[in-house]
Amino acid sequence: MPAKGTLYRSTPADSWSWIKIDVPTRLVPLTVAPILYLWLRHRPATDFGLTFSHAGRDLLLAVPLGLTAFAIAAVFHEYLSRRSHRWFVPDEPDLLVQSAYYVLLNAPIEEWFFRGFVQGSLIQWSHAPAAGLLATTAIFGAYHFLGRWGWRQVTGTTVAGLALGVIYLWQPGPPSLLLPTIVHAAFTCGFLSLGPYLIFSYRRVRGRFRPHAEAATPVS
């Protein structure tokens, strides 16, 4: 059955309108807070996962885990779009802008803060890995309410956060942020950029999407 609803195509200008706010208000504080903590405590950055000690293993696992994360996120986005009858899809230039932002900035910085700093610190303080994992997962999920996401989006993000926390926790020591960062980027691109774009492109070619209207809007 053809999908019917309103199609919103975002452009680089749309994305820049929220990226220029997102970087100083969100990404910079998330980057700086762990650095200040390490400096004040005279601790190495490896405490928060800044290491490539088992990069070969991580890159090998990143292929199946990343593809799985991407597929799940894309299907989840399609499910939410069908419920709301609204499809948010970047145009070709914006696909590159958004994907680069999620891969190069958003995923590394969020993993640095949530898995490295928050989860790492909670586990060190409590000596209870499961408790640190669950607490970080709850914080990560609740944090996305700040972006005015609905409860379904936040629930999906919380489940993704749990998976990322498990990946970070159960790996050879010292734990590295490399693998969870790659999987995080796959989740985000599957949900917000490349995933919606591929599904929309497939449906357009097959004649399975009939939008009522088309408009540009920021997708954040």
Cα–Cα separations (whole angstroms), residue 182 to 4, 51, 63, 109: 33, 14, 9, 12
pLDDT of residue 219: 37
Strand arrangement of the beta sheet that strand 209-215 belongs to:
86-90, 3-10, 209-215
Separation of alpha carbons 123 and 38, rounded Å: 16
Low-confidence ranges of the chain (pLDDT < 70): 1-4, 207-220
- At 148 the pLDDT is 83
- pTM here is 0.92
Task: Name the token pair of 97.
Answer: 């802008």
**pLDDT attached to residue 1:** 47
Q: Where are the domains of the chain?
A: 80-220
